Amino acid sequence: MATGVAGSMLMEGARQWAQGKRPRLSDLLLTPANAVRVTHQLAQMRGAAMKVGQLISMDGGDLLPPELATILARLRSDARAMPARQVQAVLTANWGAKWQQRFEPFSFTPIAAASIGQVHRAKTKDGRDLAIKIQYPGVRKSISSDVDNVASLLRMSGLLPKTLNITPLLQQAKSQLREEADYQAEGAHLQHFGQLLADAPEFLVPELHPDLSTKNVLAMTFVDGLPVESMVQAPQPERDRIVRLLVGLLFRELFEFGLMQTDPNFANYRYDPVGQRLILLDFGATRAFAPAFGAAYRQLNIAAITRDRAAMQQAAVAIGYFDQAAPPGHQTAVLNLFELAFEPLRQTGDYDFGSTDLAQRLRLASLALDRDFWHIPPVDALFLHRKLGGLYLLATRLKARVNLPQLMAGFR
């Protein structure tokens, strides 16, 4: 991949020089041809490299050149499935040589394929209808090198300031991805969330089947439903209710549970239109938050809603967005950004996500921050932003109207 990208950069650079132009390195890297090459290779590599590409396309797509954002978006659905012989080998290693005797005819065609594993529907001879998630061989071993390689591409692209130290973030990313690749840990989170939401019949969490689950294979009850983003044609009240439930769940995760599923991928939510239930899938990216973090974020919310700048600054310092030594102009710019971001929570009545231009205003405000003072916020805050951003995108996609102050009132 590196050889192909470098060759393409040399050819494009020579072409622009011949036209009298002086191209930047980042412009040469982010050509459509290179984006196609990188996307194709990441989809074949799967694992952490593909996952980082998915996150770039979902969370940072609006900051990328349109050609790159469009092509990277393919990574959300373009994973290469394992061939049948590889599936057979993985299941034999995890279940033993005679594993097929426990199932009705096992279909080796996956019903879903993603960055770290693929899912098969299977029925056991004792009558269980299961979704079996099987991890791609070698994914766990490749995490460190995959993250480093994609980080190198980001640095070369010029999207990150040279002064920004992303080393701590890369270490956390590797740690998080290793946890996501541990299906026994995910199974424990699956069970825990089932218990936490036992009082909420509007949510459905699949049941874990421990007898068939290992570090590389996760077995859970198969639950049918529609992709949540496909509900764009549903009646307005139904779309509003879906987003209201997910925002309410986020508040419970942050302020009550101290535990959050932080992966915003739309594929992690499905909807049962008959039972009007939200189906929650994929708990690999589950993160525990310290009580102090939730308390500081609650303070930030309340202060931003009431426009109490002194309390906002105190909460921002407690969370770690900046310290007291940061230049006053930088602190003011960050607080302005917070005040803007909390606009939906200051809205009287329903906030219309379908007609707002808040995302564009936030983007402009973010880009206006002095790059010399950029730093990586605490990782807990980044994972929370990731979840918030995903819900915002979904609310916008569904054109939902939600009374956010009403939802927040129970946690103030």
**Which tens digits make up the pLDDT trace of 36-53?**
566 555 555 555 555 555
Q: Are residues 151 and 238 in the same domain?
A: no
Instruction: Give the global pTM.
Output: 0.80
Q: Is the pLDDT of residue 54 over 70?
A: no
Average pLDDT, the chain: 81
Do 362 and 283 fall into the same domain? yes
pLDDT value, residue 30: 52
5 is written with which tokens?
A: 């990208």
Q: What SS3 class is residue 103? A: strand
Q: 176 and 28: one domain?
A: no
Backbone angles phi, psi at 218, to 5 degrees: -120, 120
- Please check whether residues 30 and 88 belong to one and the same domain: no
Are 178 and 213 in a shared domain? yes
Q: Is the pLDDT of residue 235 over 90?
A: yes
On whether both 49 and 137 belong to a single domain, the answer is no
Distances (CA, A) of 77 to 186, 212, 281: 22, 27, 16
Residues 254, 257, 263, 268, Cα dihedral to 10°: -130
- pLDDT band, very low/low/confident/very high, at 293 (cuts 50, 70, 90): very high
The SS3 of residue 402 is: strand
Q: Kind and range of the H or E element at 219?
A: strand 217-221
Higher pLDDT residue, 57 or 162?
162
Q: Based on the fold, state whether residues 214 and 304 are members of the same structural domain.
A: no
C-alpha torsion angle, residues 131, 269, 59, 136 (rounded to 10): 0
pLDDT > 80? residue 74: no
In this structure, the answer to whether residues 91 and 140 fall within a common structural domain is yes
Query: Per mean pLDDT, which range of 38-47, 107-116, 355-364 is the poorest?
Result: 38-47
Residue 136 has pLDDT above 50, yes or no: yes
* Structure tokens that stand for 134 in this block: 């099987």
Band of pLDDT at residue 179, cut at 50, 70 and 90: confident
Contact 380, 289 (CB under 8 A): yes
Listing DSSP states for 298-356 in one string gives HHHHHHHHHT-HHHHHHHHHHHTS--TTS-HHHHHHHHHHHHHHTHHHH-SS-EETTT-
Bigger pLDDT: 332 vs 368: 332
Going by pLDDT thresholds of 50, 70 and 90, the confidence category of residue 347 is confident
Binned at pLDDT 50, 70 and 90, residue 1 comes out as very low
- Both 334 and 250 in one domain: the answer is yes
Is pLDDT of 338 > 70? yes
Asked whether 185 and 175 are in contact (CB, 8 A), the reply is no
**Final residue of a structural domain among 78, 95, 128:** 78
- Report the pLDDT value the prediction gives residue 60, as an integer from 0 to 100: 45
What distance in Å separates the CA atoms of residue 59 and residue 199, rounded to the nearest whole number? 32
pLDDT (average), residues 207-211:
96
Distance (Å, whole) CA 187 – CA 27: 44
Examine the domain organization and report whether 247 and 330 are in the same domain.
yes
Domain boundary among the residues 57, 78, 99 is at 78
User: What value does the mean pLDDT take over residues 185-204?
Assistant: 96
Pair of tokens at residue 317: 């310092």
Per-residue pLDDT band for 265 (boundaries 50, 70, 90) equals confident
Enumerate the active-site residues: 263
Give the per-residue pLDDT at 70: 53
Mean pLDDT of 375-394: 84
Q: Which among 223, 249, 274 is the end of a domain?
A: 223
- Cβ contacts of 385 within 8 Å, gap of 6 or more: none
Whether 130 has a pLDDT exceeding 60, the answer reads yes
Q: Do you know the residue count of the chain?
A: 412
- Rounded Cα–Cα distance for residues 28 and 144 (Å): 27
Geometric angle at alpha carbon 104, from 103 and 105, rounded to 5°: 110
**Which domain, by its residues, includes 338?**
226-412
* 66 and 123 fall within a common domain: no
pLDDT band at 137 (very low <50, low <70, confident <90, very high): confident
For residue 306, the model assigns a pLDDT of 87
Q: What percent of the chain has pLDDT over 90?
A: 41
Residue 383 and residue 278 share a domain: yes
Given a cut of 80, whether residue 367 has pLDDT beyond it is no
Domain count, the chain: 3
pLDDT above 70 (res 154): no
Nearest alpha-carbon partner for 193 in 121, 279, 133: 279
Give the distance between the most distant pair of CA atoms in the chain.
73
pLDDT, mean of residues 356-381: 73
Can you give the C-alpha Rg of the chain in angstroms?
A: 23
